[in-house]
Structure 1
Amino acid sequence: MLSLLRNISIKHSSNIHNVIKRNKAIQKKDENFMIVRPLPDDYDEILCLMHKAYYTEEPTTSSIGFKPTVLFDERTLHGLNQGFSLIARCKHTGEIIGAAVNEASHCWDPDEMDKLACQVQDVKSRQLLHFYAHMSREADLWRKYCVHKIFEITYLFVRKDARGKGLAARLVKESRINAADCGFHLTKVDATSHYTALIAEKQKLKLVADIPYCSYVGADQEPIFKPSDPHKSAKIYVDEEPQKNSLKKV
């Protein structure tokens, strides 16, 4: 009987120790934000944050001094309306401090983007649209993977005072899980920023295209985008098995 009680006591003590360890782990991972799907009432706030935290610092837009236009806001709203996007909301203030604008892309999108580019008068908007179309064609994912649609993490941005806390990585991770839940067979990340590329590599996504900015030139044979270091190229990464990988600790 004493031996039995001793074993129960040891087992009970061990369980308590494990619970304490788990609680400590949870406390270390405690975050002051929550990842949720945005509602239509959030769209204006997302656009406002995007103007401040994305266009001013993203390598392609910032290097040409691009100012957000109605056309680009409409394109973002189109992506948001698809229902695949995620936002990071501060638990204390309720403010949106980060977002991943996600959308489904199709094989005809590059052609549509080039057509749209030819219709706009703003030169910088035209340059960006042509480059986005070029990136999609360079990767050629629809042919390589025999898929009709791709889950695309199109825009990723975090408010400046909320950076350095793993928020962008969480948005990518949760977006990948979202892609799996929505039945997509391929997830794509356009890493025009060196920092987005680091997130993709850390999450072990596959690099399928690397376009040096110095290689993308205009009619004058000069590079269109000349971003500052450490941004050297636009890289495209994919998650080839969203359903399988969503079960892993990515």
Structure 2
Amino acid sequence: MEFEYGPIPPSKYEEVIQHLRQHFPDEPLNGSVGLCKHGQECKALEHHNVMTLKDGLSVMAVDSNTGEIAGVALNGISRQGEVEEGLKEVEESDSREFRLIFGLLFNVNHELNLFQRYNVDKIFELRILSVDSRCRGRGIAKELFMRSEIIAEEYGFKVIKVDATSLFTQKVCESLGLTAVKSVRYKDYKDEKGNLLYDVESPHDYYKVMLKELPDHSTKG
């Protein structure tokens, strides 16, 4: 099985969404909360995914023989102030599952204030990394990640960031030189009755914000 890699054009957006409906629900944090279910529409997340695709930075792996999508990396631009807008959206959402996942991500990122820390006004975010369950273990995720980093450099980003919610993603990040700037343990989050909010299956015990500073090419030519 061979794969071809390239950018995701608008003509492929619907196919990407269909791929994610089938394969992204396996993601451990989602699995523990149940925001997205296999094969079903997930409006809350799919709106964010389409907006990310429209940033024009995402990449896909396609099976050379069948033409089917084997994996995707949805990459977007995070701008100053958007985390705070996201927190408002979380507060207004009537979906408990959406509030649990995005409330965690946005609150941790708000505390970190990466824009001030790295003196930037935009950050390259690898937001969704998904591989067809039939194609896993073939290095697709790592290749998508490497190509994403090249895009980030080409567009002049100084920082690439991943909200790494699974051990799998964290290992890919580490292999490509990203380091954790924040690590939180899922079992530390409980409701007022002492019940776990995130019953994520081991070994996916931590959510880590992982980051890498990219070379500055602004002085070239």
- Is it true that 1:57 corresponds to 2:26 in the alignment? yes
Alpha-carbon separation, structure 1, partners of 2:49 and 2:22? 15
- Is it true that 1:195 corresponds to 2:195 in the alignment? no
Which of 148, 152, 156 matches 2:121? 148
Which structure is higher in helix share? 1
Cα deviation, residue 79, structure 1: 0.3
Cα deviation, residue 96, structure 1: 0.7
Cα deviation, residue 219, structure 1: 4.2
Comparing 202-211 with 134-143, greater Cα deviation is found at 134-143
- Is it true that 1:223 corresponds to 2:190 in the alignment? no
Alpha-carbon separation, structure 2, partners of 1:101 and 1:33? 18
Name the residue aligned to 2:185: 212
- Is it true that 1:35 corresponds to 2:5 in the alignment? yes
Name the residue aligned to 2:138: 165
TM-score (norm 2): 0.91
Would the aligned equivalents of 2:84 and 2:110 in 1 still touch at CA under 8 Å?
no
Alpha-carbon separation, structure 2, partners of 1:77 and 1:219? 35
Q: Once the two structures are aligned, what percentage of the paired residues are identical?
A: 28
Which one has a bigger Cα radius of gyration?
1
Q: For residues 186 and 74 of structure 1, do their structure 2 counterparts lie closer, same or farther at Cα, with a shift above 3 Å needed?
A: same
Aligned 1:75-224 pairs, distance under 5 A: 75-224=48-197
Cα deviation, residue 242, structure 1: 4.5
1:126-155, Cα deviation, whole Å (9 max, x unpaired): 222211202312432112111111000001
Alpha-carbon separation, structure 2, partners of 1:242 and 1:60? 32
Alpha-carbon separation, structure 1, partners of 2:193 and 2:147? 42
Q: Which amino acid aligns with 1:65?
A: G
Q: Which amino acid aligns with 1:95?
A: E
Q: Which amino acid aligns with 1:80?
A: L
Cα deviation, residue 109, structure 1: 1.8
SS of 2:108 mapped into structure 1 = helix
Alpha-carbon separation, structure 2, partners of 1:197 and 1:76? 21
SS of 1:102 mapped into structure 2 = strand
Would the aligned equivalents of 1:110 and 1:132 in 2 still touch at CA under 8 Å?
no
TM-score (norm 1): 0.81
> Which residues of structure 2 form unaligned runs of 5+?
none
Would the aligned equivalents of 1:181 and 1:243 in 2 still touch at CA under 8 Å?
no
SS of 2:85 mapped into structure 1 = helix
Comparing 212-221 with 82-91, greater Cα deviation is found at 212-221
Would the aligned equivalents of 1:192 and 1:233 in 2 still touch at CA under 8 Å?
yes
Cα deviation, residue 107, structure 1: 2.5
Superposed structure 1 runs of 4+ greater than 6 Å apart: none
RMSD: 1.6
